[in-house]
Amino acid sequence: MLQLSPKRVAIVQSNYIPWKGYFDLIRAVDEFVFLDDAQFTKRDWRNRNKILTANGPMWLSIPVVTKGKYQQSIDETEIAEPWAERHWSSIRYNYAKAAHFGEMAAVVKELYDRAALEAKLSRVNYLMISGICSIIGIKTKLSWSRDYPVQGFKTDRLLSICVASGATHYLSGPAAASYLEIVRFTAAGMTVSYADYSSYPVYPQLHEPFKHDVSILDLLFNTGSAASTFMKNVDP
């Protein structure tokens, strides 16, 4: 019987400038699949995230077209109006005094300049995520759920992508524990584990009180090239 080489896969919807835990999930696997043929959900992380200001967390939201598009997928969701310059202005205003803003500003600004040219939310998210992966040295393969034959919902959908991608291990976000049928993965010859987002170290944050659940941009501007030392550094 042919023995498959070990391959760890994670499957998650794309988010806008996600928090550090999202990038740890990417770093811990061999292939990270954006589940962007899933339905777009309002008031979620798909098109918004938080930065930290002197007055506390502040949402940055990409305006998207939703009227009459109740069943649209994430990768079908269109951007409604120009947004990138406004977001960058808010980021610059709130992080200009951060210890490593000067080190990181140019490369992040370039991502925003490129993102401003995109018409679809999913493409913006991919551009920002892949760009940040490059900044912090993550080399995981990034792919799309539409690259694979997807069947069913929830466990069925995830399992079909894992099988098609040649996964031997599925690494899930902790929220999926409420519905994931692990026995189905076991029957297909795969193991399953859940990401651990606890016990993150505190880093020198510009604004107080300290918050973990903000965009990874906060970590980049406050710690620069040392950002990965404040993330999970266990062998995946």
Q: Which residues contact 164 (CB under 8 A, 6 or more apart)?
A: 148, 149
Instruction: Give the up-direction half-sphere exposure of residue 228: CA atoms within 13 A in the CB hemisphere.
Output: 14
pTM of the model: 0.95
Cα–Cα distance measured from residue 213 to residue 221, given in angstroms and rounded to the nearest whole number: 15
Contacts 24+ apart (CB under 8 A), 176-184: 179/154, 179/155, 180/154, 180/155, 181/155, 184/155, 184/159
Q: What is the pLDDT of residue 235?
A: 47
In the chain (236 residues long), the average pLDDT of successive 10-residue segments reads: 77 97 96 96 96 97 95 97 98 98 98 98 98 96 92 86 96 88 94 94 94 97 96 64
